[in-house]
Amino acid sequence: MIRVTDLSVNYGAVRALREVSFEAPTGEITAVLGANGAGKTTLLRTISGLVAPKTGEVALDETRLTGVATENIARLGLAHVPEGRGVIAELTVEENLRLGAMAAKVDLAAGLANQYERFPALRDRRRKLCATLSGGERQMLAMARALIAQPRVLLLDEPSLGLAPQITAQLMHTIRDLCASEHLTVILVEQNAKSALRIAHRAVVLHLGRAVASGSAQDIAQDDDLRRYYLGVAVE
């Protein structure tokens, strides 16, 4: 489980997060929703240690994450797929995957085989430079690279960004299936609230840095006021 307690983050004078608290239960998908600028990306970056909070705590089960260096948080089993996917364009598909496995000390050959089985399109392109991949392929690669390390927690920052609706739907299915099969704890940041709430167990809604609502995904999806004020158009 990931527990966030009273987390406040400032970028200079801008208060990006204000005393945000929530829990992402083990083995479940927790969606973090909200408009642009709500603080969703900042939240993930603070959990993974790229940003230091002003006040507040982040914990992974019993282990305190606040103040721990990003690379050490990753080695504890937390995989963060950042906004824009973070695929290293100058390296090949396989080199990106090898990087993912490096710090985790997993069996590289077995890890590669698993990911290629899960994402056959990556195997076909394994020696290609990532600059030549499409958006959907990059998303697959970013996921595979995170999963090859066999993480316990997966942070996904807007995985559907720039993807066609059909691919987004497939992606969401994949995330849901992975969560179930690997017993992952997933925190899914999405502007596409509709897709996210379809697969999530729980949801947190951020608005201007504050958590304005949290609860089961179903409750959040059915709350008309929430939809109107914070989540934009129709969430069915």
Partner 1 sequence: MHNIFGGIAQGVVYALVALSLVIIWQSTHVLNFAQGAMAMFATYIGMTEIDRGLGYWWCVIISVAVGMALGGLTERVLIRPLYGKPEINPIVVMVGFLGVLEALAAAIWTSTTRNIPEPFSQIFYHSQGNLVYLSPFIIFQVILALGIMLVVAALFRFTPLGLQLRASALAPEVSRLLGIRVSRMLTFGWMLSAGVGCIAAVIQASGSFGLFPTDMDGIFVAGFIAAAVGGLESPFGAVCGGLLIGLAEQFILSYWSPNVAPLGGIIILVIALMIRPQGLFTKTAGRRV
Q: What is the binding site for partner 1 (CB under 8 A)?
A: 48, 50, 69-72, 74-75, 79-80, 82, 86, 88, 90-91, 95, 98-100, 102-104, 145, 149
Residues 6 or more apart in contact with residue 17 via CB below 8 angstroms: 7, 8, 9, 39, 42, 43, 46, 53, 209
84 or 215: CB nearest partner 1:
84
- The amino acid at residue 75 is R
Q: How far is the CB of 178 from partner 1 (least distance, A)?
A: 18
Q: How far is the CB of 1 from partner 1 (least distance, A)?
A: 21
Q: How far is the CB of 193 from partner 1 (least distance, A)?
A: 25
102 or 164: CB nearest partner 1:
102
User: Which string of DSSP letters, residue by residue, matches 122-187?
Assistant: HHHTTTSBGGG--HHHHHHHHHHHHHTT--SEEEEE-TTTT--HHHHHHHHHHHHHHHHHHT-EEE
118 or 145: CB nearest partner 1:
145
Q: How far is the CB of 105 from partner 1 (least distance, A)?
A: 10
144 or 235: CB nearest partner 1:
144
Q: Is residue 44 a contact partner of residue 157, using CB atoms and an 8 Å limit? A: yes
